[in-house]
A and B are shown apart, each in its own frame.
Chain A
């Protein structure tokens, strides 16, 4: 049912008609989005457009009310039996979330663990990787995000930008097939935004599949393969960054972007 013809590889993320409401407020009114392997998709849009909610629906931090989201060809929270979806048990959902990395606006590092312990916690404790292996990889990841030698620092001893880079390394340690970034620079002091965006650009160029919700137009222009503009719970327009950002077709996109020029 979810199988695609062998010639076209299944998209890493495939969302169809995703709907969600909080009480009487409809936040998502039918979102369709496909993300191919290796693609970097940036979602732009005004506050309240539903972009963060959509991102959180992908790994089921928010439950969707309608539509369907497939990650790597599978529903994260459901199982197909016959012609219906059946809700999975929490532990099975947890297992399926391992393939989806997430970076939060507020970093959400574990404050009682060092940078190193934050990174190896899930690979060792959840995936059952060997400690020696995970240790080596944690060092390599910290080096990759430019934090070699800060293994033993606790989150509070690191700056916001450094914390966010540790959080990126922590998510990467699970070898995710898809990485979600939920406004990763919004909580940072302006002078620290650059180092995080630099790390993310590097990851995008290395072929990591990424969905990024952000207000950093310059990042979208430089690193995105595709830009999606959302407003009022709908995708208003999507396309190459030079098209959407420099030649927006819709009035709402234009007025949103005008604020950043």
Chain B
């Protein structure tokens, strides 16, 4: 890269101006700008933080001893397990469904496009909570579920009430809803890949399936993975909705305990802390994966730790990073 030699630049400038400049007139010796507002904001935040800690320690209503007593109780652990299992299953359904719907949305078949569009419109347009309650009460609408030839003979039939357990209603409600959101994420990722990539694959005699698998999807992943991480974190929290259909997830378990013991706040805290633990682990994993997929990109997302670190003065004005030598 042709970085002009520092001394050379100075010398040329001297020739032009015919007046010697002190060597300190160089960007690398510049005085940094001060940030008084940042310091003010910092002090404000520190005062608020001190107040918060003071309250956490001195307010007995938090009932920290009760929190400690229930934190790893067996029933809470089981509730946490239900929450995690539900998150995983609903996300898997959502991702598989999302990829299928996204491929339908960009396919050449107008019928498939319309059908996928209608699905996404319905599931994004109604609240998840309503969908959950709806699936839970499916038997009121369809007392029997049967499989067979449409309008013809049935092969197997079930009583809806025995099939749609709270767990299945929760899986359907969360998973089908998630599919609609994932479809939009996957579609955005697929469309972000340059059209020339597809043409290059076609010119090499690749089939559409192979182009999708080997060329488009690997490149779309960079745009799909980060928002999918957000969806997983949202899903952990969305599972709390299933407490309304009496599925013993983390929140429902905490509620059923405090309904007996009246230790409402401590048990809600147990749930809150567990949700935070799970989402924190996921946040950490997400930033790790994001950095993996951003490899070689100019703009690395800066982490919180980068933000905290005091930057060495010399890099305050970094040199232009080396790009492709075009």
Contacts and interface: CB of A to CB of B under 8 A. Distances in A.
B133 to A, nearest CB: 44
B-side binding surface: helix, strand, loop or mixed? Answer: helix
A122 B219 contact: no
B207 A90 contact: yes
B325 A104 contact: no
Q: How large is the interface on A (under 10, 10 to 19, 20 to 34, 35 or more residues)?
A: 35 or more
Contact of A94 (B196, B206, B296, B324): B206
Interface string A105-127: 01011111000000001100111
A102 B203 contact: yes
Nearest to A156: B324
Interface string B49-87: 000000000000000000000000000000000000000
B326 interface: yes
A174 B200 contact: no
Contacts of B194: 106, 108
Interface stretch (B12-20, B208-216, B231-239, B270-278): B208-216
Given A112-B219, A154-B296, A159-B324, A97 B214 contact: no
B197 interface: yes
B310 interface: no
Given A159-B324, A159-B325, A104 B206 contact: no
B210 A126 contact: yes
A212 B214 CA distance: 28
Given A112-B219, A125-B214, A104 B204 contact: no
Nearest to B211: A94
B213 to A, nearest CB: 10
Contacts of B199: 61, 104, 108
**Which of A94, A104, A126, A189 is packed against the most chain B CB atoms within 10 Å?**
A94
B301 interface: no
A125 B210 contact: yes
Contacts of A97: 202-205
A82 B30 CA distance: 82
Contacts of A121: 204, 214
A171 interface: yes
B285 interface: no
B218 interface: yes
A100 B218 CA distance: 25
B324 A104 contact: no
A95 interface: yes
A95 B208 CA distance: 11
Interface of A: 59, 61, 90-91, 94-98, 100-102, 104, 106, 108-112, 121-122, 125-127, 154, 156-160, 170-171, 174, 189, 192
9 contacts: A97-B203, A97-B204, A104-B196, A122-B205, A125-B210, A154-B296, A159-B325, A170-B204, A174-B205
Q: Across the A-B interface, give the 9 residue pairs with the lowest CB-CB distance, nearest first.
A: A98-B205, A108-B200, A102-B203, A122-B204, A108-B196, A97-B205, A94-B207, A160-B326, A159-B326
Given A90-B207, A101-B203, A112-B218, 4 more contacts: A97-B202, A106-B196, A122-B205, A125-B206
